[in-house]
Amino acid sequence: MIVRILGEGQYDLEGGALEALKKADTALVDVVAGTDESAFAQAFHAVLQLVRTRGTPVAVDRLVESDLVLPADGTTLAEARRMFTEHPV
């Protein structure tokens, strides 16, 4: 699975990393539905770190379609909620 972090690049995730991403994403979706900015920041950071550490960076000269696009690091809860509402997966 190719995951893009906006403003950063793409990562290729496989195997166990996909299962870990699925669990982290479920937790993130639950937090986005709430109002706790701190909980969102923590869950979002966990997703980004998982992608960065368990994914393999895709070379910048390789053109591949992203299967999942994540907001840029530093995105607020309100911005994420808008993004996820306007562009549902």
- pTM recorded for the entire structure: 0.88
Q: What is the rounded CA–CA span in Å between residue 38 and residue 62?
A: 36
Do the Cβ atoms of 9 and 58 come closer than 8 Å?
yes
Q: What is the rounded CA–CA span in Å between residue 50 and residue 63?
A: 22
End-to-end CA distance of the chain: 14
Q: What is the rounded CA–CA span in Å between residue 4 and residue 25?
A: 14
pLDDT digits (tens, 9 = 90+) for 30-74: 898 888 999 999 999 999 999 999 999 999 999 999 999 999 999
pLDDT digits (tens, 9 = 90+) for 7-41: 999 999 999 999 999 999 999 988 988 889 999 99
What are the helix (H) ranges across the chain?
Answer: 16-32, 37-54, 77-86
